[in-house]
Amino acid sequence: DGGITQSPKYLFRKEGQNVTLSCEQNLNHDAMYWYRQDPGQGLRLIYYSQIVNDFQKGDIAEGYSVSREKKESFPLTVTSAQKNPTAFYLCASSIFRGYGYTFGSGTRLTVV
């Protein structure tokens, strides 16, 4: 079945460490996105990529980095520069100017 896989589901890290969240899709979608969600809040866009080897900052890109070396993969690195990294991270994809996003099941990151 086609879909988006995010791993791991839960992730714990010590403060000051960089951590990379995985996002893989087999939907042959062109565009991929990373969102962050804090408790009781809506989703906020971190980064998005419309095509391989190209990506743009979203509304809250500071402290995050991404790469898009393959169409299927869009990993997100949460760096030590991100002041409040504990959150629920969601990856999504869509076809070119398509109407529907497909979301992964999310990674819950806790930094202690």
Partner 1 sequence: DAKTTQPNSMESNEEEPVHLPCNHSTISGTDYIHWYRQLPSQGPEYVIHGLTSNVNNRMASLAIAEDRKSSTLILHRATLRDAAVYYCILRADNDYKLSFGAGTTVTVRA
User: In the bound complex, what is the minimum distance in angstroms from residue 52's beta carbon to partner 1?
Assistant: 15
Contacts with partner 1, 52-81, as mask; x by CB under 8 A: ------xx----------------------
User: In the bound complex, what is the minimum distance in angstroms from residue 82's beta carbon to partner 1?
Assistant: 20
Cα torsion 109, 8, 61, 104 to 10°: value is -120
Q: Does 16 bind partner 1 (CB under 8 A)?
A: no
- Neighbouring residues of 24: CB distance < 8 A, sequence distance ≥ 6: 4, 5, 72, 73
Q: Does 92 bind partner 1 (CB under 8 A)?
A: yes
- The three-state secondary structure class of 38 is coil
Instruction: Provide the token pair at 49.
Output: 């990529």
Of 107, 100, 105, 108, nearest to 31 (Cα)?
100
User: In the bound complex, what is the minimum distance in angstroms from residue 48's beta carbon to partner 1?
Assistant: 6
Residues that bind partner 1 (CB under 8 A): 31, 33, 35, 41-45, 48, 50, 58-59, 88, 90, 92, 94, 97, 99-106, 108
